Amino acid sequence: FHPTEEELLGFYLSRVALGKKLHFDIIGTLNIYRHDPWDLPGMAKIGEREWYFFVPRDRKAGSGGRPNRTTERGFWKATGSDRAIRSTGDHKRVIGLKKTLVFYQG
């Protein structure tokens, strides 16, 4: 299973966001922000070096803007700028953003 970023957004995530069921159970739903990184491989449905999850939105204060990314042993922090994911058919069209997260213990 090696989907492109465009396939992940355009096929898998868009269907789930619209409430449509996928006909196969290859990507599970998991709030990864509540788990330490070393726990994630065992929670994935497939994959040895890359894991895929649908992650529900969880905010610190109800409708607040900042996501809740704390675990029992640390926290996830977004680093750097968001990276634009562009359509392969039209490189000017941004279809999503990719965020880099780093886990800090403590």
pLDDT of amino acid 81? 94
pLDDT of amino acid 87? 93
16 vs 102: CA distance, rounded Å: 26
pLDDT of amino acid 25? 81
Of residues 51 and 61, more confidently modeled: 51
pLDDT of amino acid 54? 87
pLDDT of amino acid 47? 79
pLDDT digits (tens, 9 = 90+) for 63-91: 666 777 888 899 999 999 999 999 999 99
Residue 19's Cβ-count burial label (10 Å; 0-12, 13-18, 19+) is exposed
Q: How does the average pLDDT of the chain come out, rounded? A: 87
> What is the distance, to the nearest Å, from the Cα of residue 69 to the centroid of all Cα atoms in its chain?
12
Positions of E strands within the chain? 28-29, 53-54, 74-86, 94-105
Domains of the chain: 5-58+66-105 (2.170.150.80)
pLDDT digits (tens, 9 = 90+) for 18-48: 888 888 788 888 888 889 999 999 999 887 7
Q: Is the pLDDT of residue 106 over 80?
A: yes
